[in-house]
Amino acid sequence: MPVATQASLKGLTPEQLEETGCRLCLNNTYHLGLKPGQDVLAAVGGAHKLQGWNHNILTDSGGYVGTTTTATMAQFGDRFQMVSLLKLAKITEEGVEFLSPHDGTPMLLTPEHSIGLQNTIGSDIIMQLDDVLVTTSPDARRMREAMERSVRWLDRCIAAHRNPDTQNLFCIVQGGLDLDMRRECCTAMMARDTPGIAIGGLSGGEAKADYCRVVACCTELLPELKPRYVMGIGYPEDLVVSVALGADMFDCVWPTRTARFGNAVTRRGVLNLRNARYASDFRPVENGCACACCRPRDQQGGLGVTRAFVHHNAAKETVAAHLLTIHNVHYQLDLMRRVREAVVADEYPAFLRRFFADLYPDSRADYPAWAVEALRGVGVDLLSDEETMYKWYLWRSDKSTKGQLYESKTTAPSTAPIATGHTAGRLSPPAAAVSGSAVLDGVTVTVTAVALSEAVSLEPSPPAVAVPVDPASAADRPSAAVVVASALATRKSPTLEHRSS
């Protein structure tokens, strides 16, 4: 999500933001509550009408509290910008007490007030008020207090929410880098059954490897059919790795903020167009990019902007920031479109290999170690040339079906169920296979897993598991059960072995 803090994205009109493909942007509750204020928002009919935006809006709760560094604030934006505004904040069970940055007036932001503001704003997704420390805080006692208080504040937010049918309230998982605390918070938040769940408190200066461990820990527990929103993430590498770890939604000011410093985000990395090397570079900002900035003039709406033009204006004219904002927002949204397409096509591992090869074309040795290790943990080896397509054929038989063969394919065995796909035919059970049986309502159901690939071997694992498709009818139709034989798929490689259940 692009971040339009005060109901506007710096440098773009709502129409230009829409043209980039954006259908969901972020506004900040705290800023809108101060100016124009709740009365004006109520009079105009909410933030959509205030900014002339006909698509979706997510509002942050307006209450990020804690401490962080100036560098982190510059990098990740509004949630951390709040910290600089609230240096004199006092956190109590009631809420956040602070002095207005405009006139020094004492103010109190409570869960009820935050939700009331967001109800008036009319955003499509609203966030709970949370108490959070940056992950690098050494104060374990305060971290636990913040985590437990965030759960209590969520209960107050739910009770105060006036529009649950039209505004989706997301909870925020806290707990710093303590994985046990994160698991505890995930369990508590899931019990509240909010429409979506955010993983908060990250991008605050922690090591990337620690970030990945926290995201992976949370996504292993969170419901698959609810959005998982990792707050404050915007670097392209972070986005694609986080998706592999199981995250769905992200926001960050970095793409727009870095545009104002003359930086273009491209598949080959970030180009600092203030550099003198671009003074006579008459290529588009990025070859092949379909944004209005890069499109040739002979294509509808194309501006045909060159790197040389941006370089000429970057130091002294706002037009350069405007053009690069168009490009950077389009790049980020197009990246996520390509991510979605790769996931749907079951080609995400191959997409990741291409992404990192484009970003680090000189050598794989340049790949960030944290990304390599995080992706290896979910079955994607960036350093391997092998693109093996794994196949499992699952033989299932019971007294009513004489035998059916099911096929499942994936390039990453750890990320796909072993028993999905279409019926390939009624055949005799293969000779070389791993079998398992389970009893369902007195009927023994047997399933066999077969790997038809020289690069894959199978070895026995726990017994098969039977799961009724429709428990109510399972007694009458035992064949309605889905039976999965457990096996370990091992890719044979001279240097690396992937194993997944």
Strand-pair category, 404-410 with 423-425:
antiparallel
Backbone angles phi, psi at 292, to 5 degrees: -60, -35
At 175-232, the pLDDT tens digits run: 999 999 999 999 999 999 999 999 999 988 899 999 999 999 999 999 999 999 999 9
The whole model's pTM is what?
0.76
320 with 408, same domain?
no
Distance, in Å, from the CA atom of 144 to the CA atom of 294, rounded to the nearest integer, reads 49
Please count the structural domains in the chain: 3
pLDDT tops 90 at residue 29: yes
Alpha-helix runs per DSSP H in 9-139: 14-19, 29-32, 38-44, 47-51, 70-76, 78-85, 111-121
343 with 309, same domain?
yes
Residue 301: its pLDDT value, please? 87
Which of 252, 286, 319 is the endpoint of a domain? 252
Give the whole-number percent of the chain exceeding pLDDT 90.
Answer: 62
Asked if 324 contacts 285 with a C-beta cutoff of 8 angstroms, the reply is yes
DSSP conformational letter for 34: I
Name the residue range of residue 121's domain: 51-252
Q: Omega into 462 within 30° of 0, i.e. cis? A: no
Which of 199, 220, 252 is the endpoint of a domain? 252
Residue 41 counted as domain residue: no
281 with 209, same domain?
no
Name the band, by pLDDT with cuts 50, 70 and 90, for residue 438: low
476 with 414, same domain?
yes
More confident residue, 430 or 126: 126
Distance, in Å, from the CA atom of 56 to the CA atom of 61, rounded to the nearest integer, reads 16
More confident residue, 262 or 71: 262
| Intra-chain end-to-end CA distance of the chain, in Å | 35
Asked if 490 contacts 499 with a C-beta cutoff of 8 angstroms, the reply is yes
Asked if 62 contacts 33 with a C-beta cutoff of 8 angstroms, the reply is yes
Residue 436: its pLDDT value, please? 53
State the CATH number of the domain containing residue 196. 3.20.20.105
362 with 402, same domain?
no
Backbone angles phi, psi at 94, to 5 degrees: -70, -40
pLDDT tops 60 at residue 62: yes
166 with 190, same domain?
yes
411 with 495, same domain?
yes
243 with 274, same domain?
no
293 with 239, same domain?
no
Residue 494: its pLDDT value, please? 31
144 with 174, same domain?
yes
Please, what is the average pLDDT of the chain? Answer: 79
189 with 302, same domain?
no
Question: Residue range 123-136: average pLDDT?
Answer: 93
Active site amino acids: 60, 251
Which of 334, 350, 376 is the endpoint of a domain? 376
Comparing C-alpha atoms, which of 129, 108, 107, 105 is closest to residue 118? Answer: 129
Strand-pair category, 390-397 with 499-500:
unpaired
pLDDT tops 60 at residue 87: no
371 with 274, same domain?
yes
Comparing C-alpha atoms, which of 375, 404, 407 is closest to residue 389? Answer: 407
* 140-144, 386-390, 428-432: range with lowest mean pLDDT: 428-432
Give the whole-number percent of the chain exceeding pLDDT 70.
Answer: 72
SS3 assignment for 377-419: CCCCCCCCCCCCCEEEEEEEECCCCCCEEEEEEECCHHHCCCC
At 327-347, the pLDDT tens digits run: 999 999 999 999 999 999 999
